[in-house]
Structure 1
């Protein structure tokens, strides 16, 4: 039986930095990648059981809410841009206007919805629609379940920060709520506009949320256990030169290629191999790829996609081995320092690709599959707010067609894949027998 989840907002307050932002920090310059990014929201929902794991004490929701608001106000003194507003795709005014903090009541127990919560339900637990129709940069919603459990949902605009920036913000907020000393908290470093200087965007045809296909998009969550992932990696490992070196795809390479191949196979009768082509894109964290590298707590957009077309001749696009090689080549190109150096000079491969293939894309003749991964970031360890690890963390996908996000399971050895496809494509994809044979569950 499907649970009808209702979330009622009980109160809304505004949280401002606990101390005013100094006058010399009132203007925050956007970087080139910030300028290229669209104002949609990265978001997470963090679920906690009704009893603290460490002490087995029932959570005091009133006390928790007070701690969350107090620590959030403190954290905003360091993350002061998030309490400001965007101006003309050039800069932020860091005017301490603050961020909304909502408290909401949920009409069920956590046990009623976990572990089978559908991604389509996650937006109920965050304060904004994800399509960026409001000018706020950050919002928080504390959801209270009938059992006493809670879920902390938040949204951070992609306009000024990538997924890692959102995760680092949450890590700092959790640490402050726990009561960690300031010197032990990895506060943000602001250097993105220096490393990626802003450009005159007047001659660049910038996409907006209205240009992103969001209608009839279905979001699903699929679980791949470690044994299935390792089976894929082993099955499609390749021998190197003179058969002396074995090349085994990474977990992300293997799953990306597998999902691509099954999507193409499931939808080929609609598209036809001679009528449409495919491209694959992978988001890369540029912090480790610029010279010299910058720390992971560098705040801003430090990620961009590298994208390449697949060869559509001879049905190669349906070959898993071919796709593994193509994904590996894409990874190699995105990992090269030259790629990051070009972006620092204002040369963006993704922007150039979309311009060169604009007609194909507009006609629907080029189908893109966009992959991003936040695997290996220890979410469950970092998001302890003082009452133990979360039960589960839901990473609601951005409202974007053909987007696939990989997240580690709580155990760390499996991967949850959040997939956004058009409704008709998703129905065919879920019926693909080979795909179904590799997933442990569909949620």
Structure 2
């Protein structure tokens, strides 16, 4: 397995869309941490393994970038803007001499997801770094993995999903005018004018530090979720389970429960999350984003995340559920697995729909030494849920 993994060979080249001038960031982008967001989509056997197959993907990406032109530019740190200079996104074709099915059944495959996304983008962006990198990896059986990674300074899961789906539609169409896409607008700085805010602190990790951490995938099928005693939306329920498990880890490490730590059951935590979401929707629906009150409300909610005390054992859960990654179709079928790239934040989790759509796959990032404690805490949580 490992020998095959290191047999990957890359061939890179640039793709460039039409130009524009500069694109500014809004204050929501200012607060975004200096990390990259990415996803890898795995497709079963593609019968078209010719050079034209790769060339078509590259050409359709080029056409798509004409609509997402800031992603082909470069970040200028001094002015905190995107120079839409047509320097292009990175497009890479890689090959691996293993079969896709062998990789999918490999129990620790989640640890290798990032190998399907190039590391060309620096966490601390240099002006020469691309903002978007695409890697198409072909397996010896004909399977395909398409990894897309971009800087979080201007891209989130919603942008990523929209980009990939439009790219896939463009790749399928026979004529340029077959599909008319809604016009993409890059007006974050107009909706949420910049305020000179500092990004959320996520210290970069070198390889030595990263080796102290790992990623664990938890799978919750629709039947498992429906049989749990606690009820609520699947995102709130799984978030509460992960939250409670990390509480158990903290208690095991410190041999006591901190005063600030809640002692609610999973049912109570789920209700707490539901109430919080409901209150946010109610409060935000009362104001307009283009007034000072609305913009202050948004910025304060984000600043609350930045201002969490370092001594606090915070758990960050991000949901990518309902984003249509499993609807992507380049012309050789829809993905059989979609997995997010690693964002190295301790005690964090990313939630995605499973391939059936009603289950959840949770990708938890934690220290290697804490895995036995987390698994034990998770086991205890589940004993209270049936």
**TM-score of the pair, normalised by structure 1:** 0.76
1:404-438 superposed Cα distances (whole Å, 9 cap, x missing partner): 11111111121111111122222211234245779
1:350-407 superposed Cα distances (whole Å, 9 cap, x missing partner): 314543x43xx1xxx31111111121223222x1001111222122231211111111
For the residue of structure 2 that corresponds to 1:416, the secondary structure is strand
Q: Contact 1:85–1:93 (CA<8 Å) still a contact in 2?
A: yes
For the residue of structure 1 that corresponds to 2:313, the secondary structure is strand
Matched, 1:93 2:83: yes
User: 2:295: which partner in 1?
Assistant: 344
Matched, 1:141 2:147: no
1:281-308 superposed Cα distances (whole Å, 9 cap, x missing partner): xxxxxxxxxxxxxxxxxxxxxxxxxxxx
User: 2:268: which partner in 1?
Assistant: 322
Structure 1: gaps of 5 or more residues: 52-57, 237-247, 278-311
Q: Contact 1:212–1:400 (CA<8 Å) still a contact in 2?
A: no
User: 2:195: which partner in 1?
Assistant: 199
User: 1:123: which partner in 2?
Assistant: 114
Root mean square deviation, CA, Å: 2.7
Alignment of 1:221-232 (within 5 A): 221-232=217-228
Q: 1:60 aligns with which of 43, 46, 49?
A: 49
CA distance in 2, matches of 1:438, 1:217: 28
CA distance in 2, matches of 1:412, 1:438: 26
User: 1:105: which partner in 2?
Assistant: 95
CA distance in 2, matches of 1:105, 1:113: 14
CA distance in 2, matches of 1:438, 1:47: 35
User: 1:40: which partner in 2?
Assistant: 35
Matched, 1:220 2:209: no
**Structure 1 residues 352 and 390, CA gap change in structure 2 (3 angstroms):** closer
CA distance in 2, matches of 1:371, 1:197: 27
Q: Contact 2:321–2:353 (CA<8 Å) still a contact in 1?
A: yes
Q: 1:415 aligns with which of 342, 360, 369?
A: 360
Matched, 1:431 2:383: no
Q: How many residues align?
A: 368
For the residue of structure 1 that corresponds to 2:299, the secondary structure is coil
The Cα shift of 1:137 comes to: 0.6
CA distance in 2, matches of 1:98, 1:437: 52
CA distance in 2, matches of 1:218, 1:34: 27
1:135-156 superposed Cα distances (whole Å, 9 cap, x missing partner): 3210011111111221111101
CA distance in 1, matches of 2:22, 2:89: 18
CA distance in 2, matches of 1:369, 1:330: 16
Alignment of 1:10-409 (within 5 A): 10-17=10-17, 20-21=18-19, 25-51=20-46, 58-88=47-77, 90-116=80-106, 118-128=109-119, 132-134=123-125, 135-179=129-173, 181=177, 183-201=179-197, 204=198, 206-210=199-203, 215=210, 216-232=212-228, 235-236=229-230, 248-275=231-258, 277=260, 312=261, 316-317=262-263, 319-338=265-284, 341=289, 344-345=295-296, 347-352=299-304, 354-355=306-307, 357-358=308-309, 361=310, 365-381=311-327, 383-409=328-354
Between 177-186 and 191-200, report the one with greater CA deviation.
177-186
Q: Contact 2:251–2:257 (CA<8 Å) still a contact in 1?
A: no
**Structure 1 residues 353 and 386, CA gap change in structure 2 (3 angstroms):** closer
